[in-house]
Amino acid sequence: MLKINNLHVKLEAEDKVILKGVNLTIGSGEVHAIMGPNGSGKSTLSYVLSGREGYQVTEGSATLLGAALLDMAPEERAAAGLFLAFQYPVEIPGVGNMTFLRTAVNAQRKARGQDELSAGEFLKLVREKAKTLKIDADMLKRPVNVGFSGGEKKRNEILQMAMLEPKMCILDETDSGLDVDAMKLVADGVNALRDAGRSFLVITHYQRLLDHIKPDVVHIMADGRIIKTGGPELALEVEENGYADLLAEGV
């Protein structure tokens, strides 16, 4: 599904290298987790994969289903099936959440040569998905993420993911700022989407999300590299001992 090969990334505006040779291969239907201390480059990796400006790839490559990801515009990556649930979802005053969702769904359908959803079809779909995420009509009406609580923003990300049905989902600290109930909702939302044809990359600090979204593979990232890869037990190890031992090993 996703193949990242020796990815080196620096900031465009300054001489700061953030990713220093990331290698990662995620197979179809797999769930991978990336854990790692703050500032290790996890968000940068997710931004670079989704095409945010401000970064410069100096070496390496990334492919999604065989297509060179890094050459595509952000909207092309989305149409190709990539989705990033933002660590900090963006507020867009003046654009209604519903308009936002419909524009996105129809833009992707158009890019894939499918007919746009009618207003009725769209409404039915969004109501159904919103209900399972406990997103009420008011949240759908309000401007995108404006005045949403931290938890509401994260649930809104999952709603977008559910509507867009991407193939490769990256979740950047979707659990941060969530209480136990909200985390359960989000995890249920993610698990409902698990499918042989869909993969997940779950970025998190905490083992607790991985209790709900069971990963197949766990990676530890530090200082712009993946320093260790293992099974779910690796997350438990981090939970118990912190990163210190792993970092020492990695050096």
Ligand X SMILES: Nc1ncnc2c1ncn2[C@@H]1O[C@H](COP(=O)(O)OP(=O)(O)O)[C@@H](O)[C@H]1O
- Among residues 2, 4, 7, 18, the one that binds ligand X under rule CB under 6 A: 18
Residues in the interface with ligand X (CB under 6 A) total 11
Q: Is 168 in the site for another protein (CB under 8 A)?
A: no
- Among residues 7, 41, 219, 234, the one that binds ligand X under rule CB under 6 A: 41
- Among residues 2, 24, 32, 43, the one that binds Mg ion under rule CB under 5 A: 43
Q: Are strands 168-172 and 199-203 parallel, antiparallel or unpaired?
A: parallel
- Among residues 13, 15, 38, 53, the one that binds another protein under rule CB under 8 A: 53
User: Which residue, 42 or 129, is less far from Mg ion as judged by CB?
Assistant: 42
User: Which residue, 185 or 209, is less far from ligand X as judged by CB?
Assistant: 209
- Among residues 17, 70, 107, 193, the one that binds another protein under rule CB under 8 A: 107
Q: Is 11 in the site for ligand X (CB under 6 A)?
A: yes
Q: Could you give the count of Cα atoms lying within 13 Å of 151 in the half-sphere of its Cβ?
A: 13
- Among residues 66, 94, 113, 120, the one that binds another protein under rule CB under 8 A: 94
Determine whether 94 is exposed, middle or buried from the number of CB atoms within 10 Å of its CB (0-12, 13-18, 19+): exposed
Q: Is 43 in the site for ligand X (CB under 6 A)?
A: yes
The closest of 184, 219, 213, 178 to 199, measured between CA atoms, is 213
Structure-block tokens of residue 40:
């290790």
Q: Is 14 in the site for another protein (CB under 8 A)?
A: no
User: Which residue, 72 or 236, is less far from another protein as judged by CB?
Assistant: 72
Q: Is 53 in the site for ligand X (CB under 6 A)?
A: no
| CB proximity list for 111: less than 8 A, separation 6 or greater | 75, 76, 79
Minimum CB–partner distance for residue 39 and Mg ion (Å): 8
List 20's β-bridge partners, or say none: 8
Q: Is 204 in the site for ligand X (CB under 6 A)?
A: no
Contact positions vs another protein (CB under 8 A): 50-53, 73-75, 77-79, 83-84, 86, 89-95, 99-100, 103-104, 107-108, 111, 143-144, 160, 164
Contact positions vs Mg ion (CB under 5 A): 42-43, 87
Contact positions vs ligand X (CB under 6 A): 11, 18, 36, 38-44, 54
